Amino acid sequence: MQVIADIAPLREQILQWRREGQRIAFVPTMGHLHDGHLTLVRKAREAADVVVVSIFVNPMQFEKADDLASYPRTMDEDLSKLNAEGVEIVFTPSVEVMYPNGMDQHTFVDVPGLSTILEGSSRPGHFKGVATVVSKLFNMVQPDVACFGEKDFQQLAVINKLVADLCLPIDIMPVATVREMDGLAMSSRNTRLTVDERQRAPVLSKTLRWISSQMRGGRTDYSELVLDGNDQLRAAGLEPDEIFIRDALTLQPITEQTTKAVVLAAAFLGQVRLIDNLTVDITPPTPSSSEEEEEEEE
């Protein structure tokens, strides 16, 4: 396994693989790897001949300096895990390599619409930072396929639109959320939970499952469902940040044409902000028998 920190040697190796006709898969990460990340790596291995993983904590996507400073950094452990997975290259650029002239005047990539709604509304500039760094990494690695987890549902939507709008020749492979045995979505931030918080954390996924079951049962009073979900979170000691019920394809409010919805949620547990989502197949409303009879009479 090669560990490369600069752009030139990375591109040199990529060019060699290209000449050999190798198919390249890419997994961008911010490190502090867990089984969710390693599942992405394994999916990447299935899709290509060689796998490149990046580890870079991107300052452009952090709104608060404290969050950036406290983000877990475990490079030695991460490299050991990736070596065990047989990864060919781990790209570990510094901030100076990624932003040699600083970020204030740096060219950025902004995906309109998707970047400023939902999670983007509560975290201004976050998705602009994500789209910019992913675009740079795509340009450096030039992969055939890139793997992203569905846990960050809106991020995946942003990346899909970015690739489509910029006509990038990259297949985006979504990978299902990897969960602990108790249902908690795996996240690098979970290690910051206290023992008591960790025991309560699965309530977030439990609440999502409850909302989803209500929707499958026919409930369409989405505002009330959100309020009920918030009550369940508070009862377990979590502080709700946001729950959205949206069309899974557009992330816009559900319409009569919606057949697949997504429930997106974020909640604070102590100092840790947890996120999760579930997709739900829903049936468009159909006229009741009485309505059909009235239509026939008319």
Residue numbers annotated as active site:
37
Q: Establish whether 189 is an annotated binding residue.
A: yes
Q: Establish whether 36 is an annotated binding residue.
A: yes
Q: Is there a contact between 3 and 88 (Cβ–Cβ < 8 Å)?
A: no
Q: Establish whether 252 is an annotated binding residue.
A: no
Q: In angstroms, what CA-CA distances link 49 with 5, 17, 18, 22, 121?
A: 22, 9, 11, 6, 39
Q: Establish whether 229 is an annotated binding residue.
A: no
Q: Establish whether 49 is an annotated binding residue.
A: no
Q: Establish whether 113 is an annotated binding residue.
A: no
**DSSP character for 253?**
P
3-state helix, strand, coil in the chain (%, to 5): 45, 20, 35
Q: Establish whether 206 is an annotated binding residue.
A: no
- Exposed/middle/buried for residue 297 (C-beta within 10 Å: 0-12, 13-18, 19+): exposed
Q: CB count, 10 Å around CB of 4?
A: 18
Q: Establish whether 81 is an annotated binding residue.
A: no
Of 2, 49, 132, which Cα lies nearest the Cα of 12? 2
Outline where the chain has alpha helix (H). Answer: 7-19, 35-47, 65-70, 75-84, 95-98, 119-122, 126-141, 153-165, 195-200, 203-216, 222-235, 289-297
Q: Establish whether 150 is an annotated binding residue.
A: yes
Amino acid sitting at position 149: G
Q: In angstroms, what CA-CA distances link 224 with 102, 206, 214, 243, 263?
A: 46, 17, 11, 11, 14
Q: Establish whether 195 is an annotated binding residue.
A: no
Q: CB count, 10 Å around CB of 126?
A: 21
Q: Establish whether 2 is an annotated binding residue.
A: no
Q: CB count, 10 Å around CB of 120?
A: 21
Q: Establish whether 106 is an annotated binding residue.
A: no
Q: Establish whether 32 is an annotated binding residue.
A: yes
Q: Establish whether 257 is an annotated binding residue.
A: no
Q: Which residues are annotated as a binding site for (R)-pantoate?
A: 61, 155
Binding-site residue set: 30-37, 61, 149-152, 155, 178, 186-189
Residue ranges at the known binding site for beta-alanine: 61
